Amino acid sequence: MRVIGLAGWSGAGKTTLLTRLIPEFNRRGVRVSTIKHAHHAFDLDTPGKDSWAHRQAGASEVLISSAKRWALLHELRDEPELPLPELLAKLSPVDLVIVEGFKRDPHAKLEVYRAANGKPPLHPDDPSIVAIASDTAFPEAGRPVIGLDDVPAIADCLFANAQPLDAVLARAKEGL
């Protein structure tokens, strides 16, 4: 299993790019899983449904299963958020894991940058950014800059720079 991230400010187009990359990888025969970091409370369950009622009643975990999919909801209650290495360990093996968010973690990342966002680029201060997908040229970036719409080239870059899971876990452990 190999890991690569997409980093960028909110509104830069990370999710839009990711939804274009996944079909590209699937066409190439690459099995992809994703991890998405959310900065706010979110809910995958529907209020009033049995599984929702189980969580509201205080269940630590609720596993929902059907003939089409299964999902495990884990309530943190007052526990701290899990760090990325622990989340990666929960995934079933695939060829490539694309992490959206966790922009301050030390894994290899592609910065998604859109000038209209009005935010500063991340790459000058983050050595773990291996390339940039942008609508702006960065001639002094010191790493590849790929057009935001060049999905095949971005996919090539992501796959070439994805790190083995063991290396990501070791780097996170070292705090690099």
| CA distances from residue 85 to 60, 67, 149, 173 in whole angstroms, order as listed | 21, 30, 30, 9
- The CATH number of the domain covering residues in 2-41+80-174: 3.40.50.300
Please tell me the distance from the alpha carbon of residue 27 to that of residue 111, in angstroms, as a whole number: 23
pTM (2 d.p.):
0.89
Length of the chain: 176
Q: At 15, is the pLDDT very low, low, confident or very high (cuts 50, 70, 90)? A: very high
CA distance 53 to 73: 12
- Model confidence at 24, pLDDT cuts 50, 70, 90, reads very high
pLDDT tens-place string over residues 87-108 = 998 999 999 999 998 888 989 9
